Structure 1
Amino acid sequence: MISETALLESATLRSTVLEHTDVLDRVKALSLLPDGMHVTTAMVAAYFGVTTEAIRQLKARHREELSRNGMLTLQGPELAQFKRDILSRYPGGYPQPRSSLTLYSRRSVLNIAMLLRDSDVARQVRVYLLDMEYQARTQPVDNPPAAASAALDARIDERITHILGRTVVPMFNALIEASSDHRQELIALRTGVQRIEKRLRQHHARLQRLESPREDRPLVGVMASMDAMNGREFEEHVATLLRRDGCTNVIVRGGNRDRGIDITALTADGRTLAVQCKRFAPHLSITSPEVQKFVGAKVLHSSEVALFVATCPFTRDARNIAAEGGITAVHRGLLEEWSAGAPLTVLQ
């Protein structure tokens, strides 16, 4: 199974999952320019919650890889045409660059998500990608011909969209510039082509949503099964993991009177253990106030070992407070490894 570290380090592994651009919208809505295809450096930075300088530095380090996946820089006549055809239609809402403009396709934005280390949004995107990769490797294929047909249809849709966006629309742009007698008719035709291109993208996105796991469908994979649990089921799952790793006197205390502790136990070597469980959606994060509350509960119960187990990431502040308070933050990635059989070091 591909790990997050391998994904961050290997361009080859990143290239194997770049077609899953739909995960961007699962984590957070990605705003696009009026052409419906690109975003600017500032828009990429806003999506990932980082500075534009961080994106520029990443672009400088990985320019070749990002360019292969749809990043381009417009200058001169190309920039003038883009400003005239696209940005001029929304002059108040988008920057008007003077000398150059870097644009990113959805594929290159996903590429950035696999390169950014200090972004919770990027980390959540990688979590989704790793879950999808796990499902693809473990789900049995009952009907290979149908799967192959669906993949072929998706490639055809993408190819048509690519041709419309990169060939047909620019051709209309050139005709509009060269023609005076039929300018309005050509503009109307171009608008129609762009509308078809947009509908194809929407159709492809709807198909992906329909084919993706839902709560009323059987889910495959370690994390997918936990995402389908309710709070009590998740606490029982964590209790099972504790027993598997040698803990004794494991008691699930969850409820309104748990006073901040969901599970208590003794480690295999006799230390007192307190556990807080949070089954949150993968796109959310555990924040510092939640960890601070658990620090107080840990002190109240005089626990020697404390675990904060969550199905989502922790913010940087939350991780720092956990470390200062002697709490082991079991984030989504670590929880996946633990559930798959790897023991937690703190319990040994």
Structure 2
Amino acid sequence: MINEAILLESRTLREGVAERTDVLDRVKALSLLPDGMHVTTAMVAVYFQVGVKAIESLVLDHREELEASGYRVLTGAQLTSFKEVCQIPSRSRALALYARRTVLNVAMLLRDSEVARQVRTYLLDMEYVARTQPVDNSVHSPLSDPLTDLDDRIDQRITHILGKAVVPMFNALIETSGDHRKELISLRDDVQRVKRKLCLHHARLQRLEAPREDRPLAGVMAAMDAMSGFEFEDHVATLLRRDGCTDVVVRGGHGDRGVDITGRTADGRSLVVQCKRLSPFQSITSPDVQKFLGSAKVLHKAEIALYVATCSFTREALLIAAEGGVTAVHRGLLEAWSAGTELPVL
């Protein structure tokens, strides 16, 4: 198997796997510009969770290689035309653009990024599997394995039964039991842990095994970035219902008393949600969280409060959320939730 250190040093090896851009979305969804083909320096920095200067420095050191993989800088008439097509309000006289191949190239060069390291690891694992996989000459559908499909259906069925029947049964027993209350609570917690593990297992299988043709090029987050505010609220409501929440109502801004969605968790706790569909480069600030905290805990007296956003939270906002009992569902957590991972608080 190719060593990660060798990949960092060998341009020949990097060029050999340059077409495997699908690993970018498998590790973390890459949002693209409206042209569906490019990202800016700032977007690359957000994807790899590093500063813009780190990306600019990398380009300076490896410009020839990156240009070969699709990097270019627009100026003049080309820049004006591109801004009009993509509706970019920037007043800059130059705009650096990265193709998906270029972003993968950056991942194979960027040393001080955990996301880049994950991309390299995933890329090398896939290459190893592809090189060592025995040839199967049997006649069967390449998209379906009966045994895998059966296991998948069994896992989903077990998850459904645990969430809809077993956990509610334990809740009822706990309410009426006296002597064995602690034992029943412990058993219920064990059942919920098994259910969460099954959901995580199913989500990982979907991400690893889903054919590329069935997934949007820019990933699940790009699809959410293209939604309107109302569409995003409906999407979050769908996720809540998927995870067993009941009485889920989208308030839609009419008499919502500071929240967008109300409902109850599978075990009956009251739930309120604030939804913010913002640019990935924006952040939820501490005043935003404080305002929602007052509505959620004072006006609605909610037991569970979710602040769901398509962007990040500032450090202060995260601290206030943690202190006030608000679950901050940031862009990365939202991506995992949308892909099938349950929120532990639910």
TM over 0.5: same fold?
A: no
TM-score norm. by structure 1 comes to 0.44
Query: Greater relative contact order: 1 or 2 (C-alpha under 8 angstroms, separation 6 or more)?
Result: 2
